[in-house]
Chain A
Amino acid sequence: MAAGGGIDPIHQFEIHPIVALRPFGLNLSFTNASLLMVLVVAVISIIMIYGSSQRSVVPGRLQSLAEMIYEFVASTVTGVMGKQGMVFFPLVFSLFMFVLAGNMLGMIPGSFTVTSHIIVTAAFAFLVIGTVLVYGIVKHGSHFFGLFVPSGVPGWLLPFMVLIEAVSFVSRPISLSLRLFGNMLAGHIALKVFGGFVVALLAAGGAATIIAPLPLLLAVALTALEFLVAFLQAYVFAILTCVYLNDALHPGH
């Protein structure tokens, strides 16, 4: 990824069209980001649909994986929201798998990380909060807004508490989207920077060549950490989604 002789850690986040599509003046080109999104769906579908196509009582390897993921997400959903939470199971499952597969495919060198773009993570966050709002209001009506009125608070404190709760609610999609975006972006930049150090040190020659393995070791360690982060952030995203959706199910404090 050398650009103009240097190592550009930002290059990996660039989006370039593969098939240009510009209907009605909108830029809807099929880009490398779109390609990765399609690949994400393809990978998940292979595991979940092809893997379960045998429907065997004694599962094969791929079916075991599909069942393991299903039970993992299902236990997360029921753990946070209880049995009723299973209405949101497909949503949480799709979000978790999309984010996880996006993060993991982004770890392939030369690939593109879908979740390193804030518009993608923000879209997910607003999808979650939108679901909370729509479901909460449809299901509970005005009672849903009891979410902002904590019980057992003295009257004079109530306006402040409502304000704080409202700010907390509004900050949720922001923190949800920025957390995932920031983690993926920072991790990939750090990896690229340390990788760049290796190349730069080798290119410098002389004594610099001798210490070139040091950033390489760091890059290796960082790669392992990034795999952990890739899973962890997907899990955190799923857990927080469950916590927020739980408010739509049980708005009373």
Chain B
Amino acid sequence: MPVRSSRFVRHGWAGLVASVLPATLLVGAAAAATPLSGEKAAFPPFDVATFSGQLFWLAITFGALYWLMSTVALPRVGAILEERAATISRDLDNAAQMQAKAEDTAKAYESALTEARKNAQAIAQASRDAGAKASDERRHAVEAELSAKLAQAEATIATTKTSAMTNVAGLGSEVAIAIVTKLTGQAPSASEASEAVDQVLARG
């Protein structure tokens, strides 16, 4: 990847130039300013006499910082963050489980409800059928009874009518005998009279 490396080269040089330029200017300015401030000859950041002490204290303080951060602070903060992430994901898992459970319960409730509805419909249908059957049977029984009574009544009427007709025929022949006797003075025989009545009846 030459592009990347050349970018770093450029960056390196640019950084170097960008850093050196103001520094050089400042050193020049400092050198110019130093006589004004008096007896201090060296520009403090370039005063070699302070280097050993600065390096010594920097090593101590930075060493202490590195030790404190790497052994105490960073593992602790990392553990806190991990624990929080774990707690949140656990809570989310719990919530998801709860929701699934609630959905299952709702589904079970729904199915129980449909089943109950189906059962209720079946029961209603059965009771309706049973009621219809019972009323049918009773109706049939009543009808049969009524038709039997009707038949009996018709039979009674028929016999009554027959006997009544016989009586009418008898009465008719007596009346015919009486009328013929009155008209002709001669009494027809009973058989002639009844025959004649029968003929009339049969005609009428």
Contacts and interface: CB of A to CB of B under 8 A. Distances in A.
Q: Tell whether A and B belong to one assembly.
A: yes
User: What is the interface residue range for chain A against chain B?
Assistant: 35 or more
Given A15-B44, A91-B66, A186-B26, A9 B33 contact: yes
B130 interface: no
A66 B73 contact: yes
Given A6-B36, A13-B44, A171-B16, A31 B56 contact: no
A48 B76 CA distance: 9
Interface string A29-60: 11101100110110011001100100111010
Contacts of A89: 74
A120 interface: yes
Contacts of A67: 77, 80-81
9 contacts: A34-B54, A34-B57, A37-B62, A48-B69, A55-B79, A66-B73, A90-B70, A178-B19, A178-B20
Interface of B: 1-2, 4-5, 8-9, 12-13, 15-16, 18-20, 22-23, 26, 29-30, 33-34, 36-38, 40, 43-47, 49-59, 61-62, 64-66, 68-70, 72-74, 76-81, 83-84, 87
A52 to B, nearest CB: 5
Contacts of A56: 80
Secondary structure type dominating chain B contacts: helix
A27 interface: yes
A149 to B, nearest CB: 10
Contacts of B4: 253
A216 interface: no
B76 A52 contact: yes
B16 A152 contact: no
B74 A90 contact: yes
A120 B61 contact: no
Given A168-B8, A176-B15, A253-B5, 8 more contacts: A3-B38, A15-B50, A28-B52, A41-B61, A59-B80, A70-B77, A164-B5, A171-B13
A34 B51 CA distance: 12
A208 to B, nearest CB: 20
Contacts of A189: 26, 29
A76 interface: no
